[in-house]
Structure 1
Amino acid sequence: MKRLLIPIFSLVALTSMAQNPAPAKQQDHVIALTGGTAHLGNGQVIQNAIVLFDKGVITNVVDGTLVKLNLANGTEVIDVSGKHIYPGLISPASTVGLEEIEAVRSTVDKQEVGVLNPNVRALIAYNTDSEIIPTIRNNGVLLTQAMPQGGTISGSSSVMMTDGWNWEDAVLRKDDGLWLNWPGYYAADFDLENFTRVIKKNDKRDEAISALRATFGDAKAYAAVSNPSPMNLRLESMKGLFSGTQNLYVRADYAKDIVEAVQWAKAMGVPKVVIVGGEESHRVAPFLKENNVPVILGALHRLPNREDEAVDLPYRLPGILQKAGVLVGLSYADEWWRTRNLAFQAGTATGFGVNDREEALKMITANNAKIMGIDGMVGTLEKGKHATLFVSSGDALDMKTNVVEHVFIQGRKVNLDDRHKRLYRMYKEKFTK
C-alpha cells in the first residue's frame, strides 16, 4: 500500500504545481488607472488618461491634463504612465474552453452527433479550467464566444469571460445565436495521400437545404404560438431567431453561397444574419452592405485558398470590407490555440488597407461586441460599461510590444500566471544553472 501511495502522491503534487491561478475576487474598492494612453475602442484616444472603476463598472474616463478628479479615500491608484489602456479584446467564433488537445478525444467537446441540433448549447461544455484560457487572457483577450461545430445546424453559442470558477460564473451572454453550416455548391476536402485541399461538388446540397427549410418553417410556426404545449426543445431554442434577440451565424466562404444564404435566411423571416469565414466576402461587399450583414473573418495569417488570388488577399480583406461600409469583426475561427494572437491580426490589417490603428482595434473590440449584441456592456472604455480592460506596456497590436501588465474583468484584478510562463521559468532555471 505504501508503495502505491508514493507515486499517487507525486502525481497529485505535480498536478497541483501546474494548476491555473484561482479566479479573481470581486472588486471591493475603487481603482484608478492614471497617466496612461487610453484607446477607447471607438476610434478615440485619450493621452494622460484617468480610468476610474468601482464594483466592476467604469465610473469615469477623462483626460488628466484637462480634468482633475478628487479621488476618494481608499482608492487604489495604479500609475500606468507611458503604458496603454485597452478595452478587453473579444474573440468570436471560438472553441476555446471547448477544445484542449485535439488528439485527446476526452478533452474535445465542441460538437454533438447528428445533423440538425438547434438545441445543443456550447455554454454548458465550456471548461473554465482550460490551460489555454489564461494564455489568451494574458494577451488581452478577455471575452470569447464559445461556438459549437458539426452538422448543418450546430447549436447555440454563448459569450464567456476568460475568468470564473465554472461556466455559470464565466457567462456574459447566454445563447446569443444559432450556428448554421450553409450547404454550398462545393465542399472542401483534404487529400491525405497528396496532402492537398480538394474542392468537389456537394451532392447532398439539395437534400440539406430541404431539411433546413422544413426545420425553419416549423420553428417559425412554433414561434408564433404564445404558450406552446407541449414544449418542443428543438424549436424553442430557435424562437429568438425570429424575434431578433438571436443572431443566425452562417458559415459560408464562396460568394454565391454567401448571397444565397443571406437571401434564404431573410426569406425565412430571420432578421439578423452574420457571415462567418467569408473568404470571398469581398466579391459581394455591396450586397452585404445593402442587406446590413456583418462579417466575422477567420484567420488572416494564411495563404489564400484559390491559386489565382493575390498572396496577400487574406491580409487585405478587412480593409476591403471596411471601405465598402461592411461591419467587420476578426476572429481565429476553428484555431482555438492561436486565439492568443488575435490582436496581431488587427495589427497586420493596419498594414494592408486599414490605415487607422484605432479602426483595426475596433474590429476586435467594439465591432465584435456590436455583432454579438453585447456592446451595451463591453467593447469600449466608457462610463457605465463593465470594467473589462487591460494595460499593456506598449502597442497591443504589435507582437513586439504587447506585454500585458494588468488585467481586470468586471473590475476583478486577474492573476497573470499561465502555462507558458511556468514553462519559461522552469526551463530558464534549468539552463541557467
Structure 2
Amino acid sequence: MKQTFLTILAFAALTLAKAQNPAPAKPQERAIALTGATIHVGNGQVIQNGTIVFDKGIITAVGNGDTPTAGAEVISVTGKHIYPGLISPASLVGLQEVSAVRSTVDSREIGVLNPNVRALIAYNTDSEVIPTIRNNGILLTQAMPLGGTVSGCSSIMQTDGWNWEDAVLKKDDGMWLNWPGYFARSFSMEDFSVSLRKNENRSKAIDALQATFADAKAYAAIKNPEPMNLKLEAMRGLFTGAANLYIRADFGKDIIEAVKFAKSFGIPKVVIVGGEEAHRAVDFLKENNVPVILSALHRLPNRQDEDVDLPYRMPGILQKAGVLVALSYSDEWWRSRNLAFLAGTAVGFGLGDREEALKMITSNTARILGIDKQVGTLEKGKHATLFVSKGDALDMRTNVVEHAFIQGRHVNLDDKHKRLYNIYREKYNQPMQGK
C-alpha cells in the first residue's frame, strides 16, 4: 500500500513539474548579434539583410550586413524576420486565468469609484496564458482593471519575470474610466444575443463623476495634503500629464461627450478605448488630438445597417484621417495572442501598408502608453525587446516565433499549447493498443 502511494505521489509530482511554465530568462551576459534577417524597425523602415546588436539589454547597433559584430555572440537568422516586441494594450492577461473560476479572476474590486485600485500588484507572472501570447511575439502587455465607473490604474508589464516587481516596465501609467453612455448592453444567455437598453443611471453616474473629478482637481493643487486621501492622490497624475485617462466608450456621441468631460477638467492626456463607432467622431478625435485603442476587429458591426466589414476597415479609416491608432483585444485576454493578425486584417481592408499596420501594435501603442523612449521600435539605445519570426508576423500561416528577447534576455518559448500538441502527437503516432 505504501509503495503504491509513493508511486502515485511520484507520478503526480512529475506531472505537475511538466505542467509548470518555463523559468524566467536570466539577464543577458554577453553581447548578441542577430544577422542576415529582414529587420522591421517599427517606424515604417525595413532593412534587408540586416544586423542588430544588443548588450546588457540595450540595442547598440542596427544596420545592414556591414554592421560590426566583433565580440558578440553571432546568431544567424538569415531569411527570417526581426520585429519589435508586440504590445498588447487594454488587457486582462495576468489578471484573469479562467473566467468561470472565481479564484483565478483578480481584475476588479467592489465599488463604483476606485481610482486607488492598482492592477500592478494583482499581475500573476505564473499565468499559463502569458507564455502562449509570448509565443506569438507579444512581449509587453498593459494590465488594466475592470469594474465600476472609475476602475483604477493600469501598468505596463513584460511577459517574462518571477513576479510583478520583475515584470513591470511602467507603473500606474493611467486611470480607467467607464463612460456612462446613453445605452447599456444586455446579454441573453438563452440565444447569446446582445441588445441595447436605455441607461437609466446615466445622469446619476455623471453627477458622481463630476463631483469626484472636481475634488481630485482641487486636491491636486495642494502640494502636501494632510491627511492624504488615497483615492484623490491616485488621480493626481491625470492633471499633471504624468498619467493617461483611458476612457472606455464605443458610440460616437459617447466618445465626444467623454472627451469633452475630460477636457473640462484640464486633463491633457485622454485615450479612447474600444471606439467601435470611432468613425462617427473621427474629425472630433483628430481636432482634439485624441488617440484610439480599438477593440477586437474580428466582430460584427454595432448596427444592422452598417457594412459587415466596417470593423475590419476601422483602423484604415482612422489612420487616414490622422488619428493615432493602436489595436487590442480588450478584455478577451485569451485571444490576445492573435493581436498580430488583427493588424494583418487591417492591411487587407483598406490600410494597405504592412509597416503601417505593424506600427499599430508596436510604435503607435508605445507612444500612446508613454513608453516610446524605451520600446516600440528597433533603434539604438532602446530596450532589446524583440523577436525573430520564420516569416511575416502579421500572417498566421507564417508567424512562427523562433527567438524572443526581453531586455536582452533570451526567453524560453515553451508553453502549455506546445506541450499538449507534443503529447497528443506522440499519442496518435503510436499503434492502437489491443488491436
TM range, normalised to the smaller chain?
A: over 0.9
1:220 equivalent in alignment to 2:227 = no
2:291 corresponds to which letter in structure 1? P
SS at match of 2:50: strand
Report Cα offsets for 1:378-420 as digits up to 9, x if no partner: 0000000000000001000000000000000000000110000
Cα pair distance change 1:312/1:166, threshold 3 Å: same
Distance 1:7 1:282 in 2: 60
SS at match of 1:352: helix
Distance 1:153 1:304 in 2: 27
- Once the 2 structures are TM-superposed, how far is the Cα of residue 63 of structure 1 from its aligned partner? 1.4
1:400 equivalent in alignment to 2:400 = no
1:233 corresponds to which letter in structure 2? L
- 8 Å contact 2:51–2:67 — kept in the other structure? no
Equivalent position of 2:34 in the other structure = 33
1:72 equivalent in alignment to 2:76 = no
Equivalent position of 2:317 in the other structure = 320
Report Cα offsets for 1:106-164 as digits up to 9, x if no partner: 11100000000000000000000000100000100000000100100000000000000
Q: 1:340 aligns with which of 337, 341, 356?
A: 337
2:214 corresponds to which letter in structure 1? G
- Once the 2 structures are TM-superposed, how far is the Cα of residue 7 of structure 1 from its aligned partner? 4.3
SS at match of 1:351: helix
- Once the 2 structures are TM-superposed, how far is the Cα of residue 8 of structure 1 from its aligned partner? 4.4
Bigger mean CA deviation after superposition, 9-18 or 252-261? 9-18
Distance 1:234 1:248 in 2: 15
Distance 2:67 2:90 in 1: 41
Equivalent position of 2:187 in the other structure = 190
Distance 1:85 1:372 in 2: 23
User: What does residue range 6-85 of structure 1 map to in structure 2 within 5 Å?
Assistant: 7-64=8-65, 67-69=66-68, 71-73=69-71, 75-85=72-82
Equivalent position of 1:177 in the other structure = 174
- Once the 2 structures are TM-superposed, how far is the Cα of residue 16 of structure 1 from its aligned partner? 1.2
Distance 1:24 1:389 in 2: 14
1:120 corresponds to which letter in structure 2? V
1:239 equivalent in alignment to 2:239 = no
Equivalent position of 2:203 in the other structure = 206
- 8 Å contact 2:61–2:67 — kept in the other structure? no
How high is the TM-score relative to the length of structure 1? 0.97
- Once the 2 structures are TM-superposed, how far is the Cα of residue 12 of structure 1 from its aligned partner? 2.9
Cα pair distance change 1:208/1:32, threshold 3 Å: same
- Once the 2 structures are TM-superposed, how far is the Cα of residue 57 of structure 1 from its aligned partner? 0.2
Equivalent position of 1:417 in the other structure = 414
Equivalent position of 1:283 in the other structure = 280
2:279 corresponds to which letter in structure 1? H
Report Cα offsets for 1:265-286 as digits up to 9, x if no partner: 0001211100000011001101
Distance 1:252 1:77 in 2: 48
Q: 1:251 aligns with which of 248, 255, 260?
A: 248
Cα pair distance change 1:68/1:187, threshold 3 Å: closer
Equivalent position of 1:362 in the other structure = 359
How high is the TM-score relative to the length of structure 2? 0.97
Report Cα offsets for 1:350-401 as digits up to 9, x if no partner: 0111111000000000000000000000000000000000000100000000
- Once the 2 structures are TM-superposed, how far is the Cα of residue 6 of structure 1 from its aligned partner? 5.2
Distance 1:39 1:408 in 2: 15
User: What does residue range 134-145 of structure 1 map to in structure 2 within 5 Å?
Assistant: 134-145=131-142
Q: 2:106 aligns with which of 92, 109, 116?
A: 109
The alignment of Structure 1 onto Structure 2 pairs a total of residues equal to 429
Equivalent position of 2:433 in the other structure = none
1:159 corresponds to which letter in structure 2? I
SS at match of 2:312: helix
2:21 corresponds to which letter in structure 1? N
Distance 1:203 1:20 in 2: 46
